[in-house]
Structure 1
Amino acid sequence: MIRLPASGGVVLAADEAGAHDAPPVLLLHGGGQTRHSWGRAVDALAAGGFHAITVDLRGHGDSDWAADGNYKLDAIAADIRALAAALPAPPAMIGASLGGLAALLAAGEGGPATARALVLVDVVPRIEMEGANEIRDFMTGNPNGFADLEEAADAVSRYLPHRPRPKDTSGLAKNLRLHDDGRYRWHWDPAMMQSRGGEVRSGEDQARLEAAARALTVPTLLVRGGNSRVVSLEGAEEFKQLVPHSSFVNIDRADHMVAGDANDAFNAPLLDFLERSR
Protein backbone atom coordinates (compact mmCIF):
# COMPACT_ATOMS: atom_id res chain seq x y z
CA MET A 1 0.00 0.00 0.00
CA ILE A 2 1.16 3.55 -0.75
CA ARG A 3 -0.17 6.88 0.52
CA LEU A 4 -0.96 9.72 -1.90
CA PRO A 5 -1.79 13.33 -0.99
CA ALA A 6 -5.12 14.51 -2.38
CA SER A 7 -6.97 17.78 -1.70
CA GLY A 8 -7.80 19.59 1.54
CA GLY A 9 -5.12 17.74 3.48
CA VAL A 10 -6.71 14.33 2.83
CA VAL A 11 -4.30 11.46 2.14
CA LEU A 12 -5.51 8.48 0.12
CA ALA A 13 -4.46 4.85 0.28
CA ALA A 14 -3.61 3.16 -3.00
CA ASP A 15 -2.07 0.06 -4.54
CA GLU A 16 -0.14 0.07 -7.78
CA ALA A 17 1.01 -2.45 -10.34
CA GLY A 18 3.06 -2.18 -13.51
CA ALA A 19 6.08 -0.13 -14.50
CA HIS A 20 6.16 3.45 -13.23
CA ASP A 21 7.16 4.75 -16.68
CA ALA A 22 4.16 3.04 -18.34
CA PRO A 23 1.00 5.02 -19.21
CA PRO A 24 -0.82 5.67 -15.90
CA VAL A 25 -4.34 4.44 -15.21
CA LEU A 26 -6.35 5.56 -12.15
CA LEU A 27 -9.06 3.17 -10.92
CA LEU A 28 -11.76 4.84 -8.81
CA HIS A 29 -14.30 2.62 -7.06
CA GLY A 30 -17.96 3.16 -6.21
CA GLY A 31 -19.51 4.37 -2.97
CA GLY A 32 -19.05 1.95 -0.09
CA GLN A 33 -16.40 -0.04 -1.96
CA THR A 34 -12.60 -0.02 -1.73
CA ARG A 35 -9.56 -0.20 -3.98
CA HIS A 36 -9.88 -3.98 -3.88
CA SER A 37 -13.14 -4.00 -5.88
CA TRP A 38 -11.57 -4.41 -9.36
CA GLY A 39 -10.83 -8.12 -9.30
CA ARG A 40 -8.16 -9.12 -11.80
CA ALA A 41 -8.35 -5.81 -13.71
CA VAL A 42 -5.32 -4.31 -11.96
CA ASP A 43 -3.05 -7.24 -12.81
CA ALA A 44 -4.45 -7.34 -16.36
CA LEU A 45 -3.63 -3.66 -16.82
CA ALA A 46 -0.09 -4.16 -15.54
CA ALA A 47 0.39 -7.15 -17.85
CA GLY A 48 -0.94 -5.01 -20.72
CA GLY A 49 1.79 -2.42 -20.24
CA PHE A 50 0.04 0.14 -18.01
CA HIS A 51 0.86 1.61 -14.60
CA ALA A 52 -2.34 0.80 -12.69
CA ILE A 53 -3.13 2.76 -9.52
CA THR A 54 -6.23 1.71 -7.61
CA VAL A 55 -7.27 4.19 -4.92
CA ASP A 56 -9.47 4.18 -1.84
CA LEU A 57 -11.63 7.31 -2.18
CA ARG A 58 -11.75 9.69 0.77
CA GLY A 59 -13.68 8.15 3.65
CA HIS A 60 -13.25 4.62 2.29
CA GLY A 61 -10.95 1.73 3.15
CA ASP A 62 -7.55 2.84 4.39
CA SER A 63 -7.84 6.45 3.16
CA ASP A 64 -8.33 9.43 5.46
CA TRP A 65 -11.81 10.37 6.51
CA ALA A 66 -12.65 14.00 5.73
CA ALA A 67 -12.33 16.01 8.96
CA ASP A 68 -15.05 18.38 7.76
CA GLY A 69 -17.35 15.57 6.57
CA ASN A 70 -17.16 16.82 2.98
CA TYR A 71 -17.90 13.96 0.57
CA LYS A 72 -19.53 15.98 -2.16
CA LEU A 73 -18.61 15.31 -5.75
CA ASP A 74 -16.56 18.50 -5.88
CA ALA A 75 -14.32 17.27 -3.07
CA ILE A 76 -13.84 13.84 -4.63
CA ALA A 77 -13.21 15.38 -8.05
CA ALA A 78 -10.63 17.69 -6.46
CA ASP A 79 -8.90 14.63 -4.99
CA ILE A 80 -8.80 13.04 -8.45
CA ARG A 81 -7.37 16.17 -10.04
CA ALA A 82 -4.67 16.27 -7.34
CA LEU A 83 -3.76 12.64 -8.01
CA ALA A 84 -3.65 13.25 -11.76
CA ALA A 85 -1.49 16.36 -11.39
CA ALA A 86 1.12 14.39 -9.44
CA LEU A 87 1.56 11.81 -12.20
CA PRO A 88 4.17 12.22 -14.96
CA ALA A 89 1.43 12.23 -17.63
CA PRO A 90 -2.36 12.62 -17.66
CA PRO A 91 -3.87 9.26 -16.68
CA ALA A 92 -6.66 7.26 -18.14
CA MET A 93 -9.42 7.28 -15.52
CA ILE A 94 -11.67 4.31 -14.81
CA GLY A 95 -14.51 5.25 -12.48
CA ALA A 96 -17.37 3.13 -11.20
CA SER A 97 -20.55 4.68 -9.79
CA LEU A 98 -19.46 7.42 -7.33
CA GLY A 99 -15.88 7.25 -8.62
CA GLY A 100 -17.21 7.57 -12.17
CA LEU A 101 -19.30 10.65 -11.45
CA ALA A 102 -16.34 12.36 -9.82
CA ALA A 103 -14.04 11.31 -12.67
CA LEU A 104 -16.55 12.69 -15.17
CA LEU A 105 -16.42 16.09 -13.44
CA ALA A 106 -12.62 16.00 -13.18
CA ALA A 107 -12.10 14.99 -16.82
CA GLY A 108 -14.92 17.05 -18.34
CA GLU A 109 -14.05 20.24 -16.49
CA GLY A 110 -10.28 19.71 -16.50
CA GLY A 111 -9.84 18.65 -20.12
CA PRO A 112 -7.00 16.60 -21.65
CA ALA A 113 -4.50 18.07 -19.18
CA THR A 114 -6.32 16.12 -16.44
CA ALA A 115 -7.22 12.87 -18.18
CA ARG A 116 -5.94 11.04 -21.24
CA ALA A 117 -9.08 8.87 -21.49
CA LEU A 118 -12.19 8.14 -19.45
CA VAL A 119 -14.03 4.91 -18.70
CA LEU A 120 -17.36 5.18 -16.88
CA VAL A 121 -18.55 1.95 -15.29
CA ASP A 122 -22.33 1.82 -14.95
CA VAL A 123 -22.84 5.50 -14.31
CA VAL A 124 -24.15 8.38 -16.43
CA PRO A 125 -25.44 11.87 -15.60
CA ARG A 126 -29.05 10.65 -15.37
CA ILE A 127 -29.11 7.64 -13.09
CA GLU A 128 -32.23 5.68 -12.15
CA MET A 129 -33.06 6.73 -8.59
CA GLU A 130 -34.81 3.47 -7.72
CA GLY A 131 -31.56 1.61 -8.27
CA ALA A 132 -29.52 4.30 -6.52
CA ASN A 133 -31.83 4.10 -3.51
CA GLU A 134 -31.30 0.33 -3.33
CA ILE A 135 -27.59 1.02 -2.91
CA ARG A 136 -28.24 3.60 -0.20
CA ASP A 137 -30.57 1.22 1.63
CA PHE A 138 -27.89 -1.47 1.65
CA MET A 139 -25.19 0.93 2.84
CA THR A 140 -27.36 2.16 5.72
CA GLY A 141 -29.08 -1.16 6.44
CA ASN A 142 -26.82 -2.51 9.19
CA PRO A 143 -25.83 0.40 11.42
CA ASN A 144 -24.95 -1.97 14.27
CA GLY A 145 -22.68 -4.05 12.08
CA PHE A 146 -22.35 -7.83 12.02
CA ALA A 147 -21.47 -10.47 14.58
CA ASP A 148 -18.97 -12.07 12.20
CA LEU A 149 -17.93 -12.27 8.55
CA GLU A 150 -20.50 -15.01 7.88
CA GLU A 151 -23.34 -12.69 8.87
CA ALA A 152 -21.90 -9.99 6.63
CA ALA A 153 -21.67 -12.47 3.75
CA ASP A 154 -25.34 -13.35 4.26
CA ALA A 155 -26.26 -9.65 3.98
CA VAL A 156 -24.25 -9.28 0.77
CA SER A 157 -25.90 -12.38 -0.69
CA ARG A 158 -29.36 -10.98 0.00
CA TYR A 159 -28.34 -7.73 -1.71
CA LEU A 160 -26.61 -9.49 -4.64
CA PRO A 161 -28.65 -12.68 -5.14
CA HIS A 162 -27.24 -13.17 -8.65
CA ARG A 163 -23.75 -13.80 -7.25
CA PRO A 164 -22.79 -17.13 -5.67
CA ARG A 165 -22.22 -16.73 -1.95
CA PRO A 166 -18.47 -17.10 -1.35
CA LYS A 167 -17.43 -20.16 0.63
CA ASP A 168 -14.38 -18.26 1.87
CA THR A 169 -15.53 -15.02 3.53
CA SER A 170 -12.02 -13.77 4.36
CA GLY A 171 -12.11 -11.36 1.40
CA LEU A 172 -14.81 -9.37 3.19
CA ALA A 173 -12.25 -8.41 5.81
CA LYS A 174 -10.89 -5.87 3.30
CA ASN A 175 -14.20 -4.01 3.49
CA LEU A 176 -14.99 -4.45 7.19
CA ARG A 177 -13.30 -3.51 10.43
CA LEU A 178 -13.63 -5.19 13.84
CA HIS A 179 -14.66 -2.59 16.42
CA ASP A 180 -14.12 -2.53 20.16
CA ASP A 181 -17.62 -3.91 20.77
CA GLY A 182 -16.75 -7.07 18.82
CA ARG A 183 -18.94 -6.12 15.83
CA TYR A 184 -17.77 -5.87 12.22
CA ARG A 185 -18.78 -2.69 10.40
CA TRP A 186 -18.26 -1.51 6.82
CA HIS A 187 -15.08 0.52 6.68
CA TRP A 188 -16.31 3.82 5.37
CA ASP A 189 -17.18 7.08 7.09
CA PRO A 190 -20.89 7.20 8.07
CA ALA A 191 -20.74 10.96 7.47
CA MET A 192 -20.87 10.15 3.75
CA MET A 193 -24.57 9.49 4.09
CA GLN A 194 -25.12 12.97 5.54
CA SER A 195 -23.00 14.61 2.83
CA ARG A 196 -24.47 14.58 -0.65
CA GLY A 197 -21.68 12.26 -1.82
CA GLY A 198 -22.21 10.91 -5.31
CA GLU A 199 -25.97 11.12 -5.44
CA VAL A 200 -27.50 13.24 -8.17
CA ARG A 201 -30.42 14.76 -6.29
CA SER A 202 -31.03 18.04 -8.08
CA GLY A 203 -31.46 19.37 -11.57
CA GLU A 204 -28.39 21.51 -10.94
CA ASP A 205 -26.26 18.42 -10.25
CA GLN A 206 -27.48 16.65 -13.37
CA ALA A 207 -27.04 19.75 -15.51
CA ARG A 208 -23.43 20.12 -14.35
CA LEU A 209 -22.66 16.47 -15.09
CA GLU A 210 -24.28 16.79 -18.52
CA ALA A 211 -22.17 19.89 -19.21
CA ALA A 212 -19.04 17.99 -18.17
CA ALA A 213 -20.02 15.17 -20.51
CA ARG A 214 -20.54 17.56 -23.44
CA ALA A 215 -17.12 19.08 -22.76
CA LEU A 216 -15.31 15.74 -23.03
CA THR A 217 -12.83 15.59 -25.89
CA VAL A 218 -10.76 12.60 -24.71
CA PRO A 219 -11.54 9.01 -25.74
CA THR A 220 -14.47 7.85 -23.64
CA LEU A 221 -15.99 4.44 -22.96
CA LEU A 222 -19.24 3.72 -21.14
CA VAL A 223 -19.55 0.21 -19.71
CA ARG A 224 -23.05 -0.75 -18.57
CA GLY A 225 -24.09 -3.81 -16.63
CA GLY A 226 -26.78 -5.48 -18.69
CA ASN A 227 -28.93 -6.06 -15.59
CA SER A 228 -28.23 -2.66 -14.05
CA ARG A 229 -31.02 -0.89 -12.21
CA VAL A 230 -28.90 2.27 -11.94
CA VAL A 231 -28.17 2.95 -15.63
CA SER A 232 -30.97 2.29 -18.10
CA LEU A 233 -30.50 1.77 -21.81
CA GLU A 234 -32.26 5.13 -22.26
CA GLY A 235 -29.74 6.76 -19.90
CA ALA A 236 -26.89 5.18 -21.84
CA GLU A 237 -28.35 6.47 -25.12
CA GLU A 238 -28.63 9.97 -23.66
CA PHE A 239 -24.95 9.78 -22.69
CA LYS A 240 -23.98 8.74 -26.21
CA GLN A 241 -25.82 11.79 -27.51
CA LEU A 242 -23.94 14.01 -25.03
CA VAL A 243 -20.61 12.42 -26.01
CA PRO A 244 -20.95 11.46 -29.70
CA HIS A 245 -17.38 10.18 -29.92
CA SER A 246 -17.88 7.77 -26.99
CA SER A 247 -17.89 3.98 -27.22
CA PHE A 248 -20.41 1.77 -25.44
CA VAL A 249 -20.26 -1.78 -24.11
CA ASN A 250 -23.21 -3.59 -22.51
CA ILE A 251 -22.12 -6.60 -20.43
CA ASP A 252 -25.11 -8.90 -20.35
CA ARG A 253 -24.48 -10.94 -17.22
CA ALA A 254 -23.42 -8.05 -14.99
CA ASP A 255 -25.37 -5.85 -12.60
CA HIS A 256 -24.25 -2.45 -11.28
CA MET A 257 -20.93 -3.73 -9.89
CA VAL A 258 -19.69 -4.78 -13.31
CA ALA A 259 -16.07 -5.57 -12.44
CA GLY A 260 -17.17 -7.81 -9.58
CA ASP A 261 -20.01 -9.49 -11.46
CA ALA A 262 -18.21 -10.35 -14.71
CA ASN A 263 -14.52 -9.54 -14.36
CA ASP A 264 -13.22 -11.24 -17.50
CA ALA A 265 -16.03 -9.79 -19.63
CA PHE A 266 -15.18 -6.36 -18.16
CA ASN A 267 -11.41 -6.61 -18.59
CA ALA A 268 -11.43 -7.53 -22.29
CA PRO A 269 -13.15 -4.39 -23.68
CA LEU A 270 -11.37 -2.24 -21.08
CA LEU A 271 -7.92 -3.33 -22.24
CA ASP A 272 -8.91 -3.03 -25.90
CA PHE A 273 -10.15 0.53 -25.36
CA LEU A 274 -7.10 1.60 -23.39
CA GLU A 275 -4.74 0.08 -25.95
CA ARG A 276 -6.46 2.09 -28.67
CA SER A 277 -6.30 5.22 -26.50
CA ARG A 278 -2.60 5.15 -25.61
Structure 2
Amino acid sequence: MSHNSLGPSAETSAARLHRIASHDGLVLAVDDLGPLDAPVVILLHGGGQTRHSWSGAAKALAQRGYRVVNVDLRGHGESEWSEAGAYSLDDRVADLEAIVAKLDRPFALVGASLGGATSIHAVAQAMRPASLVLVDIVPHPEPEGISRIVTFMRAHTEGFATLDEAVDAVAAYNPERPRPRDPNGLMRNLRQREDGRLYWHWDPRIVAARPQDLHDMVRQSAAKLPQIGVPVLLVRGLKSDVVSDAGVAAFRALVPDLEVADVGGAGHMVAGDRNDAFNDAVTAFLERHLPAG
Protein backbone atom coordinates (compact mmCIF):
# COMPACT_ATOMS: atom_id res chain seq x y z
CA MET A 1 0.00 0.00 0.00
CA SER A 2 1.17 3.52 -0.66
CA HIS A 3 -0.12 7.03 -0.15
CA ASN A 4 -0.99 9.21 -3.14
CA SER A 5 -0.45 6.49 -5.70
CA LEU A 6 -2.39 4.62 -8.32
CA GLY A 7 0.86 3.46 -9.81
CA PRO A 8 1.87 0.31 -11.68
CA SER A 9 1.64 -3.17 -10.26
CA ALA A 10 2.37 -6.57 -11.67
CA GLU A 11 -1.15 -7.70 -10.75
CA THR A 12 -4.15 -6.93 -12.92
CA SER A 13 -6.61 -9.64 -11.82
CA ALA A 14 -6.62 -8.93 -8.08
CA ALA A 15 -7.51 -5.64 -6.44
CA ARG A 16 -4.63 -3.37 -5.48
CA LEU A 17 -5.37 -1.33 -2.33
CA HIS A 18 -4.12 2.27 -2.27
CA ARG A 19 -4.36 5.10 0.25
CA ILE A 20 -4.90 8.54 -1.28
CA ALA A 21 -4.83 11.82 0.65
CA SER A 22 -7.46 14.39 -0.25
CA HIS A 23 -7.21 18.19 -0.16
CA ASP A 24 -7.58 18.35 3.63
CA GLY A 25 -5.26 15.43 4.36
CA LEU A 26 -8.06 12.92 4.94
CA VAL A 27 -6.95 9.51 3.61
CA LEU A 28 -9.21 7.46 1.34
CA ALA A 29 -9.12 3.70 0.82
CA VAL A 30 -9.21 2.89 -2.89
CA ASP A 31 -9.24 -0.49 -4.66
CA ASP A 32 -7.76 -0.60 -8.15
CA LEU A 33 -8.18 -3.63 -10.43
CA GLY A 34 -8.08 -4.54 -14.09
CA PRO A 35 -5.57 -3.62 -16.83
CA LEU A 36 -3.45 -0.60 -15.90
CA ASP A 37 -3.43 0.83 -19.43
CA ALA A 38 -7.21 0.61 -19.95
CA PRO A 39 -9.92 3.29 -19.71
CA VAL A 40 -10.96 3.81 -16.10
CA VAL A 41 -14.32 3.34 -14.39
CA ILE A 42 -14.55 5.07 -10.99
CA LEU A 43 -17.15 3.53 -8.64
CA LEU A 44 -18.71 5.70 -5.92
CA HIS A 45 -21.04 3.91 -3.50
CA GLY A 46 -24.10 5.27 -1.71
CA GLY A 47 -24.46 6.63 1.80
CA GLY A 48 -24.07 3.93 4.43
CA GLN A 49 -22.37 1.55 1.99
CA THR A 50 -18.73 0.70 1.31
CA ARG A 51 -16.69 -0.07 -1.78
CA HIS A 52 -17.50 -3.74 -1.19
CA SER A 53 -21.06 -3.07 -2.36
CA TRP A 54 -19.55 -2.94 -5.88
CA SER A 55 -17.63 -6.24 -5.62
CA GLY A 56 -19.56 -8.03 -8.36
CA ALA A 57 -19.69 -5.00 -10.66
CA ALA A 58 -15.99 -4.24 -10.20
CA LYS A 59 -14.96 -7.77 -11.16
CA ALA A 60 -17.31 -7.80 -14.16
CA LEU A 61 -15.99 -4.47 -15.47
CA ALA A 62 -12.37 -5.58 -15.02
CA GLN A 63 -13.15 -8.77 -16.94
CA ARG A 64 -14.56 -6.62 -19.74
CA GLY A 65 -11.20 -4.90 -19.99
CA TYR A 66 -11.69 -1.77 -17.88
CA ARG A 67 -9.45 -0.51 -15.11
CA VAL A 68 -11.73 -0.11 -12.09
CA VAL A 69 -11.11 2.35 -9.26
CA ASN A 70 -13.41 1.56 -6.35
CA VAL A 71 -13.53 4.08 -3.50
CA ASP A 72 -14.65 4.12 0.13
CA LEU A 73 -16.18 7.60 0.42
CA ARG A 74 -14.90 9.80 3.24
CA GLY A 75 -16.44 8.80 6.55
CA HIS A 76 -17.20 5.29 5.25
CA GLY A 77 -15.55 1.88 5.31
CA GLU A 78 -11.77 1.99 5.57
CA SER A 79 -11.49 5.66 4.60
CA GLU A 80 -10.85 8.12 7.41
CA TRP A 81 -13.48 10.15 9.21
CA SER A 82 -13.21 13.93 9.04
CA GLU A 83 -12.29 15.42 12.41
CA ALA A 84 -13.94 18.64 11.26
CA GLY A 85 -17.10 16.88 10.12
CA ALA A 86 -16.40 17.96 6.53
CA TYR A 87 -18.92 15.94 4.53
CA SER A 88 -20.32 18.42 2.03
CA LEU A 89 -20.59 17.64 -1.69
CA ASP A 90 -17.71 20.06 -2.26
CA ASP A 91 -15.53 17.97 0.06
CA ARG A 92 -16.53 14.81 -1.76
CA VAL A 93 -15.79 16.36 -5.15
CA ALA A 94 -12.35 17.36 -3.86
CA ASP A 95 -11.79 13.70 -2.90
CA LEU A 96 -12.74 12.66 -6.42
CA GLU A 97 -10.41 15.26 -7.90
CA ALA A 98 -7.53 13.84 -5.83
CA ILE A 99 -8.21 10.41 -7.32
CA VAL A 100 -8.60 11.64 -10.91
CA ALA A 101 -5.30 13.52 -10.59
CA LYS A 102 -3.54 10.15 -10.27
CA LEU A 103 -4.94 8.85 -13.55
CA ASP A 104 -3.68 9.36 -17.08
CA ARG A 105 -6.52 7.69 -18.99
CA PRO A 106 -10.08 8.73 -19.90
CA PHE A 107 -12.59 7.76 -17.24
CA ALA A 108 -16.26 7.26 -16.51
CA LEU A 109 -18.07 7.92 -13.24
CA VAL A 110 -20.54 5.40 -11.81
CA GLY A 111 -22.24 6.75 -8.70
CA ALA A 112 -25.01 5.26 -6.58
CA SER A 113 -27.22 7.54 -4.50
CA LEU A 114 -24.74 9.77 -2.56
CA GLY A 115 -22.02 8.74 -5.02
CA GLY A 116 -24.29 9.78 -7.88
CA ALA A 117 -25.02 13.13 -6.25
CA THR A 118 -21.26 13.62 -5.89
CA SER A 119 -20.77 12.76 -9.57
CA ILE A 120 -23.39 15.26 -10.76
CA HIS A 121 -21.80 17.99 -8.64
CA ALA A 122 -18.32 17.08 -9.89
CA VAL A 123 -19.37 17.44 -13.54
CA ALA A 124 -20.97 20.80 -12.75
CA GLN A 125 -17.66 21.84 -11.13
CA ALA A 126 -15.72 21.23 -14.38
CA MET A 127 -14.81 17.53 -14.10
CA ARG A 128 -15.16 15.92 -17.52
CA PRO A 129 -15.72 12.18 -17.53
CA ALA A 130 -16.32 10.42 -20.82
CA SER A 131 -19.68 9.28 -19.46
CA LEU A 132 -21.77 9.36 -16.31
CA VAL A 133 -23.81 6.52 -14.79
CA LEU A 134 -26.24 7.41 -12.00
CA VAL A 135 -27.60 4.52 -9.96
CA ASP A 136 -31.05 5.15 -8.50
CA ILE A 137 -30.62 8.86 -7.94
CA VAL A 138 -32.24 11.80 -9.74
CA PRO A 139 -32.34 15.56 -9.06
CA HIS A 140 -35.90 15.17 -7.71
CA PRO A 141 -35.88 12.01 -5.55
CA GLU A 142 -38.88 10.92 -3.50
CA PRO A 143 -38.69 12.54 -0.03
CA GLU A 144 -40.16 9.47 1.67
CA GLY A 145 -37.45 7.20 0.27
CA ILE A 146 -34.68 9.60 1.25
CA SER A 147 -36.17 9.97 4.73
CA ARG A 148 -36.20 6.19 5.18
CA ILE A 149 -32.48 5.98 4.36
CA VAL A 150 -31.53 8.86 6.65
CA THR A 151 -33.68 7.50 9.48
CA PHE A 152 -31.92 4.14 9.22
CA MET A 153 -28.49 5.76 9.24
CA ARG A 154 -29.36 7.95 12.23
CA ALA A 155 -30.65 4.99 14.26
CA HIS A 156 -28.72 2.55 16.46
CA THR A 157 -26.13 5.09 17.56
CA GLU A 158 -25.70 2.94 20.67
CA GLY A 159 -24.46 0.04 18.52
CA PHE A 160 -25.41 -3.62 18.70
CA ALA A 161 -24.63 -6.23 21.34
CA THR A 162 -24.52 -9.02 18.74
CA LEU A 163 -24.23 -9.52 15.00
CA ASP A 164 -27.78 -10.91 14.95
CA GLU A 165 -29.10 -7.58 16.23
CA ALA A 166 -27.43 -5.81 13.28
CA VAL A 167 -28.88 -8.38 10.86
CA ASP A 168 -32.33 -7.73 12.34
CA ALA A 169 -31.90 -3.98 11.77
CA VAL A 170 -31.01 -4.52 8.10
CA ALA A 171 -33.92 -6.93 7.65
CA ALA A 172 -36.32 -4.38 9.12
CA TYR A 173 -35.03 -1.75 6.67
CA ASN A 174 -35.13 -4.06 3.64
CA PRO A 175 -37.68 -6.79 4.45
CA GLU A 176 -37.96 -8.03 0.86
CA ARG A 177 -34.29 -9.01 0.64
CA PRO A 178 -33.62 -12.57 1.90
CA ARG A 179 -31.70 -12.77 5.16
CA PRO A 180 -28.11 -13.86 4.50
CA ARG A 181 -27.29 -17.50 5.11
CA ASP A 182 -23.95 -16.41 6.53
CA PRO A 183 -24.37 -13.13 8.43
CA ASN A 184 -20.61 -12.75 8.91
CA GLY A 185 -20.42 -10.85 5.61
CA LEU A 186 -22.14 -7.96 7.39
CA MET A 187 -19.02 -7.54 9.55
CA ARG A 188 -17.50 -5.57 6.66
CA ASN A 189 -20.02 -2.87 7.56
CA LEU A 190 -19.47 -2.98 11.32
CA ARG A 191 -16.68 -2.00 13.71
CA GLN A 192 -16.19 -3.44 17.20
CA ARG A 193 -15.17 -0.81 19.74
CA GLU A 194 -13.54 -1.09 23.12
CA ASP A 195 -16.91 -1.53 24.81
CA GLY A 196 -17.37 -4.76 22.85
CA ARG A 197 -20.40 -3.47 20.93
CA LEU A 198 -20.69 -3.37 17.14
CA TYR A 199 -21.20 -0.02 15.38
CA TRP A 200 -21.87 0.85 11.75
CA HIS A 201 -18.75 1.78 9.82
CA TRP A 202 -19.92 5.30 8.91
CA ASP A 203 -19.42 8.57 10.79
CA PRO A 204 -22.82 9.60 12.21
CA ARG A 205 -22.06 13.22 11.31
CA ILE A 206 -22.57 12.28 7.64
CA VAL A 207 -26.33 12.48 8.21
CA ALA A 208 -26.31 15.45 10.56
CA ALA A 209 -27.24 17.95 7.82
CA ARG A 210 -30.69 18.31 6.25
CA PRO A 211 -31.08 16.01 3.21
CA GLN A 212 -33.01 18.79 1.50
CA ASP A 213 -29.89 20.99 1.45
CA LEU A 214 -27.90 18.32 -0.39
CA HIS A 215 -30.65 17.74 -2.95
CA ASP A 216 -31.08 21.46 -3.56
CA MET A 217 -27.40 21.57 -4.48
CA VAL A 218 -27.74 18.51 -6.72
CA ARG A 219 -30.63 20.15 -8.58
CA GLN A 220 -28.58 23.29 -9.16
CA SER A 221 -25.67 21.22 -10.47
CA ALA A 222 -27.89 18.98 -12.63
CA ALA A 223 -29.22 22.07 -14.41
CA LYS A 224 -25.76 22.46 -15.98
CA LEU A 225 -25.66 18.96 -17.51
CA PRO A 226 -27.38 19.84 -20.82
CA GLN A 227 -24.80 22.50 -21.64
CA ILE A 228 -21.91 20.22 -20.71
CA GLY A 229 -23.06 17.35 -22.90
CA VAL A 230 -21.68 14.38 -20.95
CA PRO A 231 -23.62 11.20 -21.86
CA VAL A 232 -25.78 10.15 -18.89
CA LEU A 233 -27.32 6.79 -18.04
CA LEU A 234 -29.78 6.41 -15.16
CA VAL A 235 -30.06 2.87 -13.81
CA ARG A 236 -33.04 2.56 -11.49
CA GLY A 237 -34.65 -0.25 -9.57
CA LEU A 238 -38.30 -0.59 -10.46
CA LYS A 239 -39.07 -1.34 -6.81
CA SER A 240 -37.15 1.71 -5.58
CA ASP A 241 -38.85 4.16 -3.24
CA VAL A 242 -36.28 6.85 -4.11
CA VAL A 243 -36.70 7.21 -7.89
CA SER A 244 -40.25 7.43 -9.25
CA ASP A 245 -41.65 7.78 -12.77
CA ALA A 246 -42.19 11.46 -12.02
CA GLY A 247 -38.54 11.83 -10.95
CA VAL A 248 -37.38 10.18 -14.18
CA ALA A 249 -39.66 12.39 -16.28
CA ALA A 250 -38.38 15.55 -14.58
CA PHE A 251 -34.77 14.46 -15.18
CA ARG A 252 -35.47 13.66 -18.84
CA ALA A 253 -37.12 17.06 -19.29
CA LEU A 254 -33.85 18.55 -18.05
CA VAL A 255 -31.55 16.20 -20.01
CA PRO A 256 -33.41 15.14 -23.19
CA ASP A 257 -30.69 12.66 -24.19
CA LEU A 258 -30.88 10.87 -20.83
CA GLU A 259 -30.75 7.09 -21.18
CA VAL A 260 -32.68 5.00 -18.65
CA ALA A 261 -32.22 1.34 -17.77
CA ASP A 262 -35.00 -0.06 -15.59
CA VAL A 263 -34.02 -3.10 -13.53
CA GLY A 264 -36.98 -5.23 -12.52
CA GLY A 265 -36.98 -6.83 -9.10
CA ALA A 266 -34.47 -4.31 -7.75
CA GLY A 267 -34.94 -1.64 -5.13
CA HIS A 268 -32.68 1.28 -4.28
CA MET A 269 -29.66 -1.06 -3.92
CA VAL A 270 -29.76 -1.98 -7.61
CA ALA A 271 -26.33 -3.59 -7.92
CA GLY A 272 -26.90 -5.67 -4.81
CA ASP A 273 -30.43 -6.74 -5.76
CA ARG A 274 -29.85 -7.66 -9.43
CA ASN A 275 -26.12 -7.62 -10.08
CA ASP A 276 -26.16 -9.38 -13.48
CA ALA A 277 -28.85 -7.09 -14.91
CA PHE A 278 -27.05 -4.07 -13.47
CA ASN A 279 -23.71 -5.12 -15.00
CA ASP A 280 -25.28 -5.72 -18.41
CA ALA A 281 -26.89 -2.26 -18.50
CA VAL A 282 -23.77 -0.42 -17.37
CA THR A 283 -21.27 -2.23 -19.60
CA ALA A 284 -23.49 -1.80 -22.68
CA PHE A 285 -23.57 1.97 -22.05
CA LEU A 286 -19.86 2.23 -21.27
CA GLU A 287 -18.83 0.24 -24.34
CA ARG A 288 -20.59 2.82 -26.53
CA HIS A 289 -19.13 5.89 -24.83
CA LEU A 290 -15.82 4.62 -23.38
CA PRO A 291 -14.79 1.44 -25.23
CA ALA A 292 -12.43 -0.78 -23.26
CA GLY A 293 -10.68 -2.27 -26.26
TM-score over 0.5 (shorter chain)? yes
Structure 2 residue matching 1:185: 3-state secondary structure: strand
2:173 to 159, 163, 166: 159
Matched, 1:75 2:127: no
Alpha-carbon deviation of 1:91?
Answer: 1.5
Alpha-carbon deviation of 1:253?
Answer: 0.6
Taking the TM superposition and a 5 Å limit, the aligned residue runs for 1:193-212 are: 193-195=207-209, 199-201=211-213, 204-212=216-224
TM-score, reference length from structure 1: 0.94
- Greater Cα shift, 48-57 or 199-208: 199-208
Matched, 1:141 2:155: yes
Structure 2 residue matching 1:52: 3-state secondary structure: strand
Alpha-carbon deviation of 1:191?
Answer: 1.5
- Assess, with a 3 A threshold, how the Cα gap between structure 1 residues 211 and 256 changes in structure 2: closer, same or farther: same
**Distance (whole Å) between structure 2 residues aligned to residue 120 and residue 275 of structure 1:** 16
**Distance (whole Å) between structure 1 residues aligned to residue 32 and residue 19 of structure 2:** 11
- Assess, with a 3 A threshold, how the Cα gap between structure 1 residues 204 and 178 changes in structure 2: closer, same or farther: closer
- Assess, with a 3 A threshold, how the Cα gap between structure 1 residues 216 and 175 changes in structure 2: closer, same or farther: farther
- Indicate conservation of the 8 Å contact 1:111/1:216, yes or no: no
The aligned counterpart of 2:185 is: 171
- Indicate conservation of the 8 Å contact 2:191/2:201, yes or no: yes
**Distance (whole Å) between structure 2 residues aligned to residue 166 and residue 204 of structure 1:** 36
Alpha-carbon deviation of 1:206?
Answer: 4.8
RMSD of the TM alignment (CA)?
1.6
- Indicate conservation of the 8 Å contact 1:72/1:195, yes or no: no
**Distance (whole Å) between structure 1 residues aligned to residue 216 and residue 196 of structure 2:** 43
1:99-152 Cα deviation digits (max 9, x unpaired): 10011111233153xx11100000011111111000011111211111122211
Number of residue equivalences? 274
1:155-202 Cα deviation digits (max 9, x unpaired): 111111111000101111111001111110001111112245xx3337
1:130 to 130, 144, 148: 144
Q: Which runs of 5+ in 1 are unaligned?
A: none
Q: Which runs of 5+ in 2 are unaligned?
A: 1-16
TM-score, reference length from structure 2: 0.89
The aligned counterpart of 2:11 is: none
**Distance (whole Å) between structure 2 residues aligned to residue 182 and residue 107 of structure 1:** 43
Equivalent position amino acid for 1:60 in 2? H
- Assess, with a 3 A threshold, how the Cα gap between structure 1 residues 90 and 141 changes in structure 2: closer, same or farther: same
Deviant stretches of 4+, over 6 Å: none
Taking the TM superposition and a 5 Å limit, the aligned residue runs for 1:14-93 are: 14-93=30-109
